Amino acid sequence: PKTDIVFLKVHKSASSTVMNILFRFGETHNLTFAFPLGGGYQLYYPHHFLARFVQGFSPQSPRRFNILCHHMRFLQPEVQKVVPSSAIYFSILRNPVQLMESSFVYYKGASAFSRVRSLEEFLRQPYRYYDPASGDRHYARNLMTFDFGFNPDGEVSPERVQLMLKAIEASFDLLLISEYFDESMVLLKEMLCWDLDSVVSFPLNSRDSSTKSPLPESVVEKLKAWNRLDWEIYAHFNRTFWERIERDIGRERLRREVRALRARRAELARTCLQGTGSVAPKDIKDSSLRPLQHGGARILGYNLKQGLDQELERVCRRLVTPELQYSSLLYKKQFPPQPP
């Protein structure tokens, strides 16, 4: 199994669920994580990543970490200073239309969104609300482009788009697609030589459907145009994703593996969870399993069954521990507080 990994955690793209998979694998195999200084949750995002943002990094000591997966704005020469040269690089993309709809609800406080009631209103006159000079502009335009380290307000010439796609291809071994999450996990498992249980997961940091509404076709087209760079990235790597599946796995085996993954997830849900799945934040009984609530979204969580034996309880709890709590726990393990 591969143990040196860089995961670019793109916002609102099922990346918290992928992070849980990496946290569990790293914990099980005693791997080290490149944590933000002081145990924070983001690597000084939205600044471009620098090696000195990582706890325990020093230019003098050539210490390398196994897994880098906290939110960052990608800058490969700096990333290479903190992970082994053999590291596998991957990320996950989401359809920019749904991504922006999700971003609008989740980052309602962002300067571009705070004065509008709806996405439609924003898209009617985006430049009335959107300021390319504001520090949080990226939440409102080409968020994936920004996370990959590029300018979200860059021109959309075919030459520029090609350069960007080539640069991403040169840096990343694999780009997953969140709309095809299970297929993505099969591909990831294949590339990392991991077993099925290592990539099985429950959806984390997802919001309840009461805040989701279908978008009219006219809005969809405007969203694509407004997030044109993101759309180019998504369209390109959605295509190469399926080419990769054909080449490395084949449709028939893919179907078998996806079936096995879903069956295992269902089995774990029956074993671990009270009820059938996720619940509203107010219904989560164990406060240590309550995810951070943000913006206008209601982020769902889980209740574990009572009376599980110790080992099973540990496995189940890890599957449903929200990102911030899990990150803190692993940080304390890797950097134990010094006794006074």
Q: What amino acid occupies position 333?
A: K
Handedness of CA 19, 23, 26, 31 (dihedral sign): positive
User: Does some domain include residue 97?
Assistant: yes
Among 319, 340, 339, which residue's Cα sits nearest to residue 27? Answer: 319
3-state secondary structure of 279: strand
In a domain, 256, yes or no: yes
Does residue 322 form part of some domain? no
Convert the pLDDT of each residue in 269-319 to its tens digit.
Answer: 999 999 878 999 999 999 899 998 877 778 899 999 999 999 999 999 999
Higher pLDDT, 213 or 48: 48
127 in a domain, yes or no?
yes
- 87 in any annotated domain: yes
**Does the model's pTM come out above 0.85?**
yes
Answer yes or no: is 334 within a domain. no
Indicate whether 61 pLDDT > 90.
no
Domain CATH code at residue 150: 3.40.50
How many domains, in total, are found in the chain?
Answer: 1
Whether the CB-CB separation of 143 and 100 falls below 8 Å is answered with yes
pLDDT digits (tens, 9 = 90+) for 248-278: 999 999 999 999 999 999 999 999 999 878 9
- Owning domain of residue 256: 5-205+214-264
Residue 240 domain flag: yes
Q: Is residue 69 part of a domain?
A: yes
